[in-house]
């Protein structure tokens, strides 16, 4: 069967879909992954066919202006208000890619605003997926955007409806696409994209571990928690001699990296991290990412890299300090390492709270509250707290025993069993 995958956002939003694509291909399916052109090499180097989408949205997110907006109180919502025409063009790109590929089924990230409507137009099954319990109302915890708000089960469930209302800003754009491009009737502004027009619920694949966030009892049966979708390192990657020499020169270092979160204060942040590592007496390995950490001359106890595959690197470190993206969180916990999360926005405070509540990391430190003393104390706790180390090691064993991709593939296969022939769909 032919399966169309689509995702948008940072690397952490794309990487799980590549892993799923690999798993689907191994199961005998044909796959195409549609995302921003800036990720094309990343997708193809892992053997997954790429489907084109313009790079405009990714370029804005990666720009200094975009990063500053992400760090501000306006956040990503302000970016969306400014880029309606870009979103509209991306909908057309996805539609062209789907028409060329002619899939039997779609799996899409909620940031891909056209997927729900395209699946309706074609009459094919579609499953929504992300590595965060963001779409399904539950009394167990609020929508991750409201992490820290404790008003009880009634508010927890209601908070998901509040996030549904945030989609109103796209309603005009998606309805224009539905009517003018797909020939579908407009969708009501307050109608949910978690239900099909026939009233059936949209199936969901949550690509995170139930050992980290247990499945709430009130999740409906069409919502699946599969385990993380890990992408193994590309076979061609090799560490530099300098990195190997640093790792071998002393005890395991503490990894510090803030991924795709760069913003405008990378130099200040870098100085805090360097001073905190020295104050804690720990060796450090800094990943600069897109500029999240900017440093000058470093002491011999600290080594800087651009990036390295987490599945290779994290088993070789003592602890992991990062921004709290779902992918980095998963990789650090899979390696069984205590985790210090310093969140910026979005789902990152949620993962910080989850990690702390699970006993595998200290209290999260929001980026705007980073201090040398605070980071040094958190590093000391992560490296020296025996109970935390044991909890992290145990969780790592549980996560490594899962196969989230295989679980997702099995669910997709069951969905395809109900799928009519492609001839009936495409003529």
* Mean of per-residue pLDDT scores for the chain: 90
**Alpha carbons 7 and 70: distance in angstroms, whole number:** 19
Using pLDDT thresholds of 50, 70 and 90, give the confidence band for residue 69.
low
**66 has a pLDDT exceeding 80:** no
Q: What is the pLDDT of residue 190?
A: 79
**What does the pLDDT average to over 415-425?**
74
More confidently predicted of 369 and 168: 369
Tell me what pLDDT residue 346 has.
Answer: 81
In a domain, 169, yes or no: yes
Instruction: Provide the pLDDT for residue 81.
Output: 62
Statement to judge: residues 396 and 407 lie in one domain = no
Q: Does residue 131 contact residue 228 with C-beta atoms inside 8 Å?
A: yes
More confident residue, 345 or 295: 345
Written as one string, the DSSP assignment of 17-72 is: HHHHHHHHHHTT-EEEEE--GGGHHHHHTTT--EE---SHHHHHHHSHHHHHHHHS
Please state the rounded mean pLDDT for residues 135-143: 94
Question: So what's the pLDDT on residue 268?
Answer: 84
- pLDDT band for position 306 (50/70/90)? confident
Q: Give the percent of the chain with pLDDT over 70.
A: 89
Cα 154-113-366 angle, rounded to 5 deg:
55
Q: What is the pLDDT of residues 76-134, one digit of tens each?
A: 556 666 677 888 999 999 999 999 999 999 999 999 999 999 999 999 999 999 999 99
Q: Which has the minimum average pLDDT: 53-62, 74-83, 126-135, 164-173?
A: 74-83
Strand 223-225 with 50-51, pairing? unpaired
Domain extent, residue 393, equals 241-400
pLDDT value of residue 297: 80
pLDDT band of 49, cuts 50, 70, 90 = very high
pLDDT above 60 (res 163): yes
Shared domain check, 331 and 288:
yes
| Residues in CB range of 45: below 8 A, 6 or more apart | 234, 236
* 221 and 318 part of one domain: no
Are 380 and 416 in a shared domain? no
Q: Answer whether residue 71 shows pLDDT above 60.
A: no
Which of 74 and 370 is assigned the larger pLDDT? 370
Residue with tokens 């990063």: 67
In this prediction, residue 136 has a pLDDT band, given cuts at 50, 70 and 90, of very high
- What is the DSSP-derived secondary structure letter of residue 302? E
Average pLDDT for residues 270-279, to the nearest whole number? 93
77 lies in a domain?
Answer: yes
Q: Are residues 182 and 327 in the same domain?
A: no
358 within domain boundaries: yes
Looking at the structure, do residues 175 and 197 belong to the same domain, yes or no? yes
List the CATH number of the domain containing 273: 3.40.50.2000
Domain count, the chain: 2
Report if residue 125 sits inside a domain: yes
pLDDT band at 390 (very low <50, low <70, confident <90, very high): very high
What digits encode the pLDDT tens for the residues 323-359?
Answer: 999 999 999 999 999 999 999 888 899 999 999 999 9
In a domain, 234, yes or no: no
Give the confidence band of 58 by pLDDT, cuts at 50, 70, 90: confident
Q: Determine which of 109-113, 175-179, 255-259, 400-404 has the lowest per-residue pLDDT on average.
A: 255-259
- Confidence class for position 143, pLDDT limits 50, 70, 90: very high
- Cβ(76)–Cβ(69) below 8 Å: yes
**Is 235 inside a domain boundary?**
no
SS (H, E, C) 193-259: CCECCCCCECCEEECCCCCCCCCCCCCCCCEEECCCCCCCCCCCCCCCHHHHHHHHCCCCCEEEECC
- Which token pair is 364? 């999260």
426 has pLDDT over 90: no
If pLDDT is split at 50, 70 and 90, which confidence band does 418 have? confident
For residues 418 and 346, membership in a common domain is answered with: no
What pLDDT band is residue 363 in, cutting at 50, 70 and 90? very high
The reply to whether 233 falls in a domain is no
- In-domain check, residue 370: yes
Report pTM: 0.92
Do 256 and 290 lie in one domain? The reply is yes
Q: Which H/E stretch holds residue 416? A: helix 404-416
266 with 164, same domain: the answer is no
Q: Are residues 292 and 327 in the same domain?
A: yes
Residues 74 and 191 occupy one common structural domain: yes
Bridge partners, 410 (sequence order):
none
Question: Do 23 and 154 reside in the same domain of the chain?
Answer: yes
Q: Is the pLDDT of residue 197 over 90?
A: no
């Amino acid at each position: 069967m032919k399966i169309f995958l689509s995702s948008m956002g940072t690397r952490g939003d794309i990487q799980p879909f590549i892993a799923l694509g690999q798993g689907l291909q191994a199961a005998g399916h044909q796959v195409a992954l549609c995302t921003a052109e800036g990720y094309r090499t990343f997708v193809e180097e892992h053997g997954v066919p790429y489907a084109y989408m313009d790079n405009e949205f990714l370029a804005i997110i990666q720009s200094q202006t975009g990063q500053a907006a992400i760090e501000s109180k306006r956040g990503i919502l302000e970016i969306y208000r400014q880029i309606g025409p870009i979103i509209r063009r991306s909908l057309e790109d996805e539609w062209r890619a789907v028409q060329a590929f002619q899939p039997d089924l779609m799996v899409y990230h909620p940031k891909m605003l056209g997927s729900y409507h395209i699946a309706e137009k074609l009459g094919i099954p579609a499953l929504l997926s992300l590595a965060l319990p963001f779409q399904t109302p539950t009394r167990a915890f609020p929508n991750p955007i409201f992490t820290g708000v404790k008003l009880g089960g009634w508010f927890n469930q209601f908070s998901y409806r509040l996030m549904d209302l945030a989609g109103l800003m796209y309603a005009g754009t998606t309805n224009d696409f539905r009517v003018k491009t797909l020939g579908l009737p407009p969708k009501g502004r307050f109608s949910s994209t978690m239900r099909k027009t026939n009233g059936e619920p949209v199936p969901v694949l949550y690509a995170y571990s139930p050992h980290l966030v247990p499945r709430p009892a009130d999740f409906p049966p069409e919502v699946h928690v599969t385990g993380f979708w890990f992408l193994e390192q590309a076979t061609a990657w090799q560490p530099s001699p300098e990195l190997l020499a640093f790792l071998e020169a002393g005890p395991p270092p503490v990894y510090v990296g803030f991924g795709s979160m760069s913003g405008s204060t990378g130099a200040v942040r870098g100085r805090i991290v360097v001073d905190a590592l020295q104050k804690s007496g720990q060796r450090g390995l800094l990943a600069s990412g897109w500029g999240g950490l900017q440093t000058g001359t470093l002491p011999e106890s600290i080594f800087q890299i651009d990036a390295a595959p987490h599945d290779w690197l994290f088993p070789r470190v003592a602890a992991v300090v990062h921004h709290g993206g779902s992918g980095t969180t998963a990789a650090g916990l899979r390696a069984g390492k205590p985790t210090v999360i310093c969140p910026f926005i979005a789902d990152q405070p949620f993962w910080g709270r989850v990690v702390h509540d699970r006993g595998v990391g200290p209290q999260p430190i929001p980026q705007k509250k980073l201090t040398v003393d605070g980071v040094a104390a958190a590093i000391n706790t992560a490296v020296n707290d025996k109970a935390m180390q044991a909890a992290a090691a145990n969780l790592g064993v549980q996560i490594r025993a899962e196969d989230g991709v295989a679980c997702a593939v099995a669910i997709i296969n069951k969905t395809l069993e109900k799928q009519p022939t492609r001839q009936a769909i495409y003529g």
